[in-house]
Homo-oligomer: A and B are copies of this chain.
Amino acid sequence: MNEAIHTILNHRSIRDFQDKQLTDEQIKMIVACAQAASTSSFIQAYSIIGIKDKEKKAKLAHLAGDQRYVLNNGHFFVFCADLHRHFLIGELEQKDVMTSIESTEKFMVALIDASLAAQNAAVAAESMGLGICYIGGIRNNLDEVKAVLKTPEFVIPLFGMAVGYPEEINEQKPRLPLEHVYHEEEYQQNNEVQISQLQDYDEIISRYYQQRTNGKRGDRWTAQMASMLENPKRMYMKEFIEKNRMNLK
């Protein structure tokens, strides 16, 4: 197993960081790695905002649901889908780019671009001995997050990433069995097979929690997912996207 694969397989989200800040050199290297990711037709439709300021971090931590690791970390990144520079390009080159910019397709492209960049940043940081945690919680209150980060139209903050020196290292939660996620030649369409795979996985997850809690807790994954999904979250998202002129046409 090579070093990169070792880093990747060893990933776990870190939520307790030492009080030690990243150097500018480390930050630049992480961003350079983010930028080295593939980008759809070279469109580079994302931006990264890096936050050192404790007050700004505290505001974001509160907006993300009072997550202490948004405040206490070595550096905080926010990854944004960004078609703002492409809007400017339309004006600069005097071409009508708005139908593209307002399309669901380009929204997807920007999301995918930002996510590929972010995962490169994550692997790079972890390969340096740092820990990371993605923060989807910034999508809880995007109007307020937008005000803190001063993002203009055509920019959607997608998620944060807390990076830093790990204080505590968590265990890894077992993923879905490979054969449930990976399909050979075509999608495995048999619902009964899928359900029985889900039930096998429930046993794995249940055992995992039992071992960690001395038998006190034995949640099944399907139950966790069902209770999460029966409470819809962030239902203002479409409205926020359209208000910010990315649109979903």
Report A's interface with B, CB cutoff 8 A. 2-5, 7-9, 11, 13, 28-29, 31-38, 40-44, 46-53, 56, 80, 84-86, 88-90, 92-93, 95-97, 99-101, 103-106, 108-109, 111-112, 115-116, 118-120, 122-124, 126-128, 132-134, 136, 139, 148-152, 155, 158-159, 173, 175-176, 178, 180-187, 189, 191, 194-195, 198, 221-235, 237-238, 241, 248-249
Contacts and interface: CB of A to CB of B under 8 A. Distances in A.
Contacts of A122: 37-38, 116
A223 B2 contact: no
Nearest to A100: B229
A147 to B, nearest CB: 10
A2 B128 contact: yes
A90 B139 contact: no
A227 B86 CA distance: 11
Nearest to A172: B36
Given A50-B182, A93-B225, A95-B229, 9 more contacts: A3-B127, A9-B33, A38-B122, A38-B132, A41-B228, A48-B182, A97-B229, A100-B230, A116-B122
Contacts of A173: 42
B234 A105 contact: yes
A142 to B, nearest CB: 10
Contact of A44 (B108, B155, B176): B176
Contacts of A103: 232-235, 237-238
A158 B104 contact: no
A118 B120 contact: no
Given A158-B108, A182-B48, A187-B150, A134 B38 contact: yes
Nearest to A197: B85
B96 A230 contact: yes
A185 B51 contact: yes
Contacts of A89: 198, 222, 225-226, 229
